[in-house]
Amino acid sequence: MTPELPNGPISLFLDVDGTLIDIAPRPDAVVVAPHLIETLNILDRRLDGALALVSGRTIADLDHLFHPLRLRASGVHGAEMRFDANHETESVAGDAVSEDIVARLRDIAGSHVGTLVENKRYSVAIHYRAAPAAREELARELQLLIQSEAGQDLRILPGHMVFELKRATFDKGVAIGNFLTRAPFQGRRPIFCGDDVTDTPGFDAVLAAGGLAFSVGFSRPGLSGSFADPAAVRDWLAHMAQMEASGG
Ligand SMILES: O=P(O)(O)OC[C@H]1O[C@H](O[C@H]2O[C@H](CO)[C@@H](O)[C@H](O)[C@H]2O)[C@H](O)[C@@H](O)[C@@H]1O
């Protein structure tokens, strides 16, 4: 699918894993092609900066992956915000997940060979891509963990072969809503592309703002359309950037 762009000014919100880049066996095994970085750089300039990465990764991780490009971004499912690429990352999430919870999650991971813990301060993830059979048991153990720490008000956020523990006060929809009230996003029609259940609040936010929501790898009634895979998203973005480069 190659979506037609609406008339008038737009803004772009882009999920990262499974949308811009292909899923890899481990979080640190992803590949970001140089031409994707160049495409995003061109589009960021074309949109006067109204382009943001909206990811479950930390913004520091995004900067590392997309180096030398530094974009407006939201990280850790909305817990981190960077409203200007030249500014520092702000936390909007309150307290970090406690060290005790992280330690208990590491204990759980220790009893499931192949699982991997990723501590992102405002969320802690347990990846089971290399241990898919552990899914149900992990879900049960995580449920017991958050019930035993009810005061921390944590939720389980499922993603692609991963469970994350985070608070309910932030998500990608809140993050996009925060961007939309500020320059250079304000007054532009937002477009969000995402591939995961964790992107649902983002889809809802742009649709509520009169924008367009595109899924990747699946289709769902109510969304504006879908891309087959991240390569199709990259081709679409490259096409837009090419139009700019040729003055189209
Ligand atoms: O919101 P996103 O930008 O899509 O980030 C979601 C999570 O992405 C990463 O994990 C996922 O991608 C890994 C690399 O392809 C894969 O190995 C893993 O199974 C996926 O869950 C990242 O590690 C997480 O922190 C993000 O929340």
82-121 pLDDT, tens digit per residue, is: 999 999 999 998 899 999 999 999 999 999 999 999 999 9
Q: How many CB atoms lie within 10 A of CB 6?
A: 13
pLDDT at residue 248 in the model: 47
Instruction: Answer whether 91's CB lies under 8 Å from 175's CB.
Output: no
Mean pLDDT (the chain) is 95
3 state SS of 201: helix
132-186 pLDDT, tens digit per residue, is: 999 999 999 999 999 998 888 899 999 999 999 999 899 999 999 999 999 999 9
Residues in the chain: 248
- Residue 23 CA: nearest ligand 1 atom is 15
User: Which residue is closest in CA terms to ligand 1's atom 15?
Assistant: 23
135: Cα within 13 Å, side-chain hemisphere: 9
CA dihedral 134, 78, 102, 24 (to 10 degrees): 40
Global confidence as pTM: 0.96
Pocket test for ligand 1, best of 160, 163, 193, 218 (most atoms within 8 A of CB): 160
| Ligand 1 interacting residues, C-beta cut-off 6 A | 15-18, 23-27, 30, 55-57, 118, 125, 127, 129, 159-162, 196, 198
